[in-house]
């Protein structure tokens, strides 16, 4: 039997109430969203929060919608909602491709976008997706709302800028007309965390890449990305050689660690292979070459 | 011979009378969620227990302070090694003649070892109290790499054993070394290879657990426990705890998978018994997943060096093997006493050659004990892996197709019964027919053509590999004169009672863990008596209500208890003949058997059905002198030999050369287990075993870091395959009955687990066009193998 330590339970009826509950119960309080990381950690007592504030009732945070030139994704949107979203499918294929290889249907039915980002597991997939797309994340507190670029959101493994009395409520992704995107992941088995994963988008104008985004997961990349590689490609024609050079940059600039999923040399090699594949497929989609 | 299923009459419920496909009788409760497992056992006043485990692989215990835990308001007792020492229970005998610590007294010897046992009013409080126990450890250097266990400066793990100065457990040999060496010295071709069968874990869906209840008034101990061998456990509790055996009842309710994990007695079981004695209340202990993976019986961990000799034309002449066996901190292997390396010396496999020799050296390391588990048929898994890998290495050396090399060397049908160079007597087989059938289903020639085309086109990716394995299993332990466990012979009892209305109860000593005994054994009786399987209730898993026998493992249920059930039913049938003859006022010799009915030869209208005979046997019919009433039989079946199922497996894989990812495209399995009692159950067992094999070949392994920390202690780290890694299996069969089994059946439960790993490994290596790399073939391992820089898969990678 796996049994968590004793904890206090509260259920929030609104974002405001959730924030006041966080304030009232202090720093040993954790938000409970999908619970697919937190609850197992509690059961094996890697986490023993004093209070859980359950935000699963906050339907107001479960949405994906187009707002002007941005797509807004509520923090309580379940993975399965991202996987099935017509809006995201129209603009960014990367979402469905990433979601299809996140855990399994049971986890996807319950796990949330906000929970994934705030858990900040270094091998988490959506962090790489949002980082590739340079999303903004909206954080709420009693004093109002602030917007944080995703590449400034993570402070390190399992650590974000979200304060003790704050809640991540939304991700905002800029719409980039004509952009193609793709996600690539190698895992030891379906549902496993990534050995390495990469996401990419390419936006073309007159055959040149006016914008490029590269996201990386599980390989210790700064901000889940590689700004140098993006810079190498921006404004250029994405020839196979140019893509290969950018992929090599990603390979050299990441900081993977050895574990049961593989040694460092293999993970660097994978970064090169997967960045090449993701960029190539994103490019084909931007060109309308791939259905 | 390719066999098809023989149609039989059907019962009113639509089931076959006798052998054939029918839905499992036990599924009605399992599919409704109405199974009854250990954790479903609830008794009035029941307490809950949790185990404090060592965080170190090797450390001296200098102090344990349990006062804070004992002060917890809901804690009833805290038991430590010191408590048990006072009861002379701190150590218990293992199934291999060693002793194992129940709760550590002097040292801890592996990470996860049991240190203290807390009993509380609920499982939450028991777990809370673990955090209140303070243990002072003095860390010691750990022996993690088995290859360094015998180095002069290696720390001595078992300093508890009198006079012990190193970590050697045993050296054991089989075969004629001198004759074998002579063959090798004169051979034209000798190929040598090192290979590791890594430490893996059976990982049953239900973890281990126990509810112990000592009734102080009656003095009776009842233990509901996860055991594959209830009767053996009863006797062991009597021996270990000094309790009177007639006052011990072991109940093994529904068991959620065993695979050898639930054969032995674990410290938690003993502590639950002690806890019930100490507290006077029933005590439940259920381990969690990490405890199961880190402390209970692992499997394999065999470092093997093989050498194979042949002529230039590919006639195999001999095989010799040197094994280093990692047994962990205690020699807790479950196997017949005479065979310290299990049945590993069956390693000569399915081939005809005269010379063979093996040497097995076993060592202690700072890892969990165990070694025979995960459907391994007492180490035939390791043996088949060794020979099937060596044959492939030889094919590579000779530049010969591995199917052709196998066909050239397989034993021929006319050689059976065949005595191997290491002394096994294979009962029956037609090996070439099985391999031909597998190659036919696979379209072997076409596959090789496709592979050649891919290799000729350098842009053609992924890489394609084809792997073959041919296995001979030896299951159904076993003949009393050769096989016992702790002195208990491996014969099985069985009791069949036919009630007055012709419905029957069959009492078995074996215990199902998902194999479908309640259906298969009913079908065996149905086959012999001609009454519907739905009219036969199988009773098992309760020592007070079943005859003695050694349990279910090593695929022994059908070969041993299945034979017992068939013989019991045959005896009932013969008794029924006498009673029918009495009722019909004729001689038993005048009767002939027609499914379910004794009838007069030449006058079939005159006859009695089994229900009619059953009623008469309980009624007022005057029976002949010496014939007792009722229609019952009791049997103890001592198998004359093992049964030897076999099979030919072909695996096709695609490998992404850039990422190292392996995709199993096809898996063809032709199994011969003799007549199939319920083909659906047989196929289900094969499906499960193939998934096991794919898992072991591609992802399963428990590795350790240099400090001896277990790196496979959760399902995040110890991967099991899912449906997405398994192809839609293509099954075939041949049918070669066992000549000595009453219905010709051979065991099949472990065949696919034994036979499939080398097929997958051979396929991956074929795709990479390399000779050797070690399981599991994770993407990283494949990529490094392609580069000629293989990874150690048993230790933490760099």
- Average pLDDT value for residue range B115-120: 98
Q: How, if at all, do strands B47-53 and B283-286 pair?
A: parallel
User: Per-residue pLDDT for B4 more than 70?
Assistant: no
The pLDDT value given to residue B461: 82
Residue to mutate among B780, B781, B790, with most A CBs inside 10 A, is: B780
* Residue pLDDT, tens place only, B602-612: 999 999 999 99
The pLDDT value given to residue B629: 95
Question: What is the rounded average pLDDT for all residues in chain A?
Answer: 97
Sign of CA dihedral B711, B717, B721, B725: negative
Question: What is the rounded average pLDDT for all residues in chain B?
Answer: 96
Check B791 against A263: CB less than 8 A apart: yes
Residues belonging to chain B: 798
B657: nearest CA in chain A? A273
The pLDDT value given to residue B460: 65
Domain with CATH 3.30.465.10 in chain A: 59-174
E strand or H helix at B212, and its extent?
Answer: strand B209-215
Nearest by CB to B290, from A3, A44, A261: name it.
A44
Which tokens is B536 given? Answer: 């036969």
Beta pairing partners, B220: B215
Which is more confidently placed, B242 or B2? B242
Beta pairing partners, B419: B425
Total H helices, total E strands in chain A: 11, 13
The proportion of chain B whose per-residue pLDDT surpasses 90, expressed as a percent, equals 96
CATH number of the structural domain A59-174: 3.30.465.10
**A89 Cα to chain B: minimum distance (Å):** 24
* DSSP codes, A132-158: HHT-EEEEEETTEEEEEEGGGTEEETT
* Residue pLDDT, tens place only, B446-458: 999 999 999 998 7
B363 — phi, psi (to 5°)?
-130, 155
Residue to mutate among A260, A272, A274, with most B CBs inside 10 A, is: A260
* Residue pLDDT, tens place only, B373-392: 999 999 999 999 999 999 99
B206 — phi, psi (to 5°)?
-90, 130
User: Per-residue pLDDT for B530 more than 80?
Assistant: yes
Check A270 against B124: CB less than 8 A apart: no
E strand or H helix at A99, and its extent?
Answer: helix A93-100
Check A6 against B699: CB less than 8 A apart: no
Check A3 against B123: CB less than 8 A apart: yes
Nearest by CB to B123, from A1, A263, A269: name it.
A1
The pLDDT value given to residue B585: 96
The pLDDT value given to residue B648: 98
* Residue pLDDT, tens place only, B144-161: 999 999 999 999 999 999
**A1 Cα to chain B: minimum distance (Å):** 5
Q: Hey, is the C-beta of B128 within 8 angstroms of any chain A C-beta? A: yes
Check A3 against B127: CB less than 8 A apart: yes
Check A258 against B797: CB less than 8 A apart: yes
Which residues on chain B are in Cβ contact (under 8 Å) with A189?
698-699, 719, 721-722, 724-725
A218-to-A88, A215, A258, B555, B566 alpha-carbon distances in Å: 24, 11, 11, 43, 58
Domain with CATH 3.30.390.50 in chain A: 180-286
The pLDDT value given to residue B1: 39
Q: Hey, is the C-beta of B783 within 8 angstroms of any chain A C-beta? A: yes
The pLDDT value given to residue A291: 56
- Average pLDDT value for residue range B496-503: 98
**B694 Cα to chain A: minimum distance (Å):** 11
Which residues on chain A are in Cβ contact (under 8 Å) with B719?
188-189, 192
Nearest by CB to A270, from B124, B659, B797: name it.
B659
The pLDDT value given to residue B241: 83
**A266 Cα to chain B: minimum distance (Å):** 6
Nearest by CB to B711, from A186, A260, A274: name it.
A260
Kindly report the CA angle at B449 between B444 and B454, in degrees rounded to 5? 125
Nearest to B301 by CA among B213, B366, B394: B366
Check B779 against A189: CB less than 8 A apart: no
Cα separation, B383 vs A26, whole angstroms: 60
Q: Mapping DSSP to helix (H, G, I), strand (E, B) and coil, where does residue B506 land?
A: strand
The mean-pLDDT minimum among B2-6, B485-489, B777-781 falls in B2-6
Nearest by CB to A188, from B288, B719, B784: name it.
B719
**B721 Cα to chain A: minimum distance (Å):** 7
Check B797 against A270: CB less than 8 A apart: no
Which residues on chain B are in Cβ contact (under 8 Å) with A273?
658-659
Check A190 against B724: CB less than 8 A apart: yes
For residue B792, the 8-state DSSP code is P
Q: Mapping DSSP to helix (H, G, I), strand (E, B) and coil, where does residue A195 land?
A: strand
* Residue pLDDT, tens place only, B10-37: 999 999 999 999 999 999 999 999 999 9
Nearest by CB to B719, from A6, A192, A270: name it.
A192
Confidence of residue B6 (pLDDT cuts 50, 70, 90): confident
User: Per-residue pLDDT for A218 more than 90?
Assistant: yes
Maximum Cα–Cα distance for chain A, whole Å? 61
**By the 8 A CB rule, do B149 and B89 touch?**
no
Q: Hey, is the C-beta of B286 within 8 angstroms of any chain A C-beta? A: yes
CATH number of the structural domain A8-54: 3.30.43.10
For domain A180-286, which CATH number applies: 3.30.390.50, 3.40.50.150, 2.40.110.10, 3.40.50.1100? 3.30.390.50
Which tokens is A183 given? Answer: 């996600």
* Residue pLDDT, tens place only, B324-340: 999 999 999 988 989 99
The pLDDT value given to residue A202: 98
Confidence of residue A204 (pLDDT cuts 50, 70, 90): very high
Nearest by CB to B124, from A3, A269, A273: name it.
A3
Cα separation, B136 vs B64, whole angstroms: 6
B694: nearest CA in chain A? A189
Which tokens is A190 given? Answer: 């379906």
The pLDDT value given to residue B2: 42
């Amino acid at each position: 039997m796996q049994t968590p330590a004793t904890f206090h339970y509260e259920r929030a009826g609104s974002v405001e109430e959730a924030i006041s509950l966080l304030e009232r119960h202090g720093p040993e309080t954790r938000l409970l969203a999908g619970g697919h990381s937190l609850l197992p950690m509690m059961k094996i007592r890697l986490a023993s929060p004093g209070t859980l504030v359950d935000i699963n009732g906050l339907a107001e945070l479960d949405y994906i919608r187009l707002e002007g030139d941005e797509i807004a994704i509520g923090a309580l949107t379940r993975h399965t909602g991202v996987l099935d979203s017509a809006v995201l499918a129209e603009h960014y294929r990367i979402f469905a491709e990433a979601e299809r290889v996140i855990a399994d249907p049971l986890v996807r039915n319950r796990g949330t976008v906000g929970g994934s980002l705030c858990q900040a597991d270094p091998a988490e997939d959506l962090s790489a997706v949002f980082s590739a797309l340079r999303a903004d994340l909206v954080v709420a507190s009693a004093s109002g709302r602030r917007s944080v670029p995703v590449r400034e959101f993570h402070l390190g493994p399992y650590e974000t800028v979200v304060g003790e009395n704050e809640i991540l409520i939304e991700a905002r992704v800029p719409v980039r007309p004509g952009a193609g995107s793709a996600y690539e992941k190698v895992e030891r088995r379906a549902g496993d965390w990534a050995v390495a994963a990469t996401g990419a988008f390419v936006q073309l104008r007159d055959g040149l890449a006016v914008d490029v985004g590269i996201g990386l997961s599980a390989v210790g990349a700064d901000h889940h990305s590689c700004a140098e590689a993006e810079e190498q490609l921006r404004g250029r024609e994405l020839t196979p050689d140019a893509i290969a050079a950018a992929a090599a940059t990603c390979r050299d600039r990441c900081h993977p660690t050895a574990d049961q999923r593989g040694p460092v040399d293999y993970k660097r090699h994978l970064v090169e292979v997967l960045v090449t594949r993701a960029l190539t497929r994103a490019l084909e989609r931007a060109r309308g070459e791939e259905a | 011979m390719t066999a098809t299923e023989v149609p039989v009459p059907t019962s009113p419920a639509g089931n076959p009378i006798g052998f054939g496909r029918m839905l499992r009788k036990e599924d009605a409760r399992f599919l409704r969620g109405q199974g009854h497992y250990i954790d479903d056992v609830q008794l009035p006043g029941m307490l809950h227990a949790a185990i404090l485990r060592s965080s170190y692989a090797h450390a001296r215990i200098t102090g344990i302070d349990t006062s804070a835990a004992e002060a917890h308001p809901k804690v009833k007792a805290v038991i430590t090694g010191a408590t048990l020492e006072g009861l002379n229970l701190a150590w218990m005998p293992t199934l291999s003649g060693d002793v194992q610590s129940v709760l550590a007294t002097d040292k801890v010897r592996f990470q996860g070892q049991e240190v203290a046992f807390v009993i509380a009013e609920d499982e939450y409080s028991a777990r809370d109290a673990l955090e209140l126990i303070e243990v002072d450890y003095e860390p010691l250097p750990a022996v993690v790499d088995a290859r360094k266990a015998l180095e002069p400066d290696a720390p001595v793990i078992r300093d508890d054993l009198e006079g012990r100065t190193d970590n050697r457990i045993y050296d054991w040999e089989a075969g004629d070394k001198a004759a074998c060496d002579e063959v090798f010295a004169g051979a034209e071709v000798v190929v040598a290879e090192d290979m590791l069968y890594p430490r893996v874990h059976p990982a049953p869906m239900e973890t281990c657990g126990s509810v112990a209840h000592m009734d102080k008034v009656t003095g009776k101990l009842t233990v509901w426990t996860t055991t594959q061998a209830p009767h053996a456990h009863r006797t062991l509790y009597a021996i270990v705890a000094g309790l009177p055996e007639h006052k011990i009842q072991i109940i093994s309710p529904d068991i959620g998978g065993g695979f050898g994990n639930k054969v032995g007695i674990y410290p938690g079981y003993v502590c639950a018994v002690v806890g019930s004695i100490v507290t006077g209340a029933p005590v439940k202990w259920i381990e969690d997943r990490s405890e199961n993976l880190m402390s209970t019986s692992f499997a394999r961990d065999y470092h093997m060096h093989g050498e194979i000799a042949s002529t230039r034309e590919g006639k195999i002449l001999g095989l010799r093997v040197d094994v280093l066996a990692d047994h962990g901190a205690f020699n807790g292997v479950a196997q017949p006493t005479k065979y310290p390396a299990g049945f590993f010396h069956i390693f000569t496999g399915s081939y005809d050659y005269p010379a063979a020799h093996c040497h097995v050296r076993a060592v202690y390391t700072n890892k969990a004990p165990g070694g025979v588990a995960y459907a391994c048929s007492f180490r035939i898994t390791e043996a088949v892996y060794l020979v099937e890998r060596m044959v492939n290495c030889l094919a590579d050396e000779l530049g010969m197709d591995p199917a052709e090399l196998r066909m050239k060397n397989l034993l021929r049908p006319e050689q059976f019964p065949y005595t191997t160079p290491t002394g096994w007597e294979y009962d029956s087989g037609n090996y070439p027919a099985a391999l031909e059938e597998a190659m036919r289903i696979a379209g072997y020639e076409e596959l090789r053509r496709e592979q050649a085309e891919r290799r000729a086109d350098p842009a053609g990716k992924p890489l394609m590999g084809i792997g073959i394995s041919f296995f001979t299993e030896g299951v159904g332990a076993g003949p009393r004169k050769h096989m016992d466990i702790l002195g208990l012979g491996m014969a099985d009892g069985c009791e069949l009672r036919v009630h007055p209305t012709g419905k029957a109860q069959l009492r078995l000593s074996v215990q199902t863990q998902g194999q479908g005994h309640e259906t298969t054994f009913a079908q065996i009786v149905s086959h012999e008596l001609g009454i519907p399987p739905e009219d036969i209730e199988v009773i098992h898993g309760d020592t007070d209500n079943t005859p003695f026998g050694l349990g279910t493992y090593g695929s022994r249920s059908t070969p041993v208890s299945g034979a017992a059930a068939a013989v019991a039913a045959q005896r009932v049938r013969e008794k029924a003949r006498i009673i029918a003859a009495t009722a019909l006022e004729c001689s038993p010799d005048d009767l002939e058997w027609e499914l379910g009915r004794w009838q007069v030869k030449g006058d079939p209208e005159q006859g009695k059905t089994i229900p009619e005979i059953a009623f008469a046997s309980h009624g007022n019919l005057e029976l002949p002198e010496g014939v007792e009433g009722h229609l019952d039989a009791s049997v103890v079946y001592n198998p004359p030999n093992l049964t030897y199922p076999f099979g030919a497996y072909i695996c096709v894989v695609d490998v992404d050369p850039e990422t190292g990812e392996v995709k199993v495209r096809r898996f063809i399995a032709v199994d011969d287990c003799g007549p199939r009692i319920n083909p659906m159950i047989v196929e289900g067992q094969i499906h499960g075993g193939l998934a096991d094999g794919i898992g072991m070949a591609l992802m399963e392994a428990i590795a350790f870091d240099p400090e001896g920390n277990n790196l496979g202690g959760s399902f995040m780290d110890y991967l099991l395959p899912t449906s997405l890694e398994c192809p839609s299996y293509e099954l075939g069969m041949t049918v070669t009955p066992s000549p000595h089994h009453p219905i010709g059946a051979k065991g099949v439960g472990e065949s696919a687990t034994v036979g499939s790993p080398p097929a997958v490994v051979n396929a991956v290596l074929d795709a990479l066009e390399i000779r050797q790399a070690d399981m599991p073939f994770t993407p990283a391992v494949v990529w490094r193998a392609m580069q000629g820089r293989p990874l150690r898969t048993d230790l933490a990678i760099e």
